[in-house]
Amino acid sequence: MSTWMLMGLQDSSSPLMEQLIFFHDHALMILVMITMLVGYLMFMLFFNKFINRYLLHGQTIEII
C-alpha cells in the first residue's frame, strides 16, 4: 500500500512488476556507482599536487 513519504515503489502484485522493481534497483545501483566514481575522480583532480608545466593551452588534452 502506498503511503506518504514512501521512498520506494509500491508492493508488487504481479511477477512482471516484481521484475520491474528489480530492474529499477539494479539500474539505480549502477547510477550510484557511476556517480561515486565521477565524484572521486573530480575530488582527486582538484586536490592533485602534480602539475604538468609543459601543458600549454590545453594542447595535450586536445590530442586525447
Q: Using the structure block, give the residue that is written with the C-alpha cell 506518504.
A: 4
Domain boundaries, the chain: 16-46
Cell triple for residue 53? 608545466
User: Which residue is listed with cell 504481479?
Assistant: 14
The mean of the pLDDT values for the chain is 82
Q: What is the pLDDT of residue 36?
A: 98
Task: List, as one string, the DSSP characters of 41-61.
Answer: HHHHHHT-----TT--TTHHH
Tell me, what's the pLDDT at 52? Answer: 67
For 12-29, the pLDDT digits (tens) are 788 898 899 899 999 999
- Average pLDDT for runs of 10 along the chain of length 64: 71 87 94 97 84 65 64
Q: What is the DSSP letter of 10?
A: P
Contact 18, 12 (CB under 8 A): yes
> For position 63, what pLDDT does the model report?
64
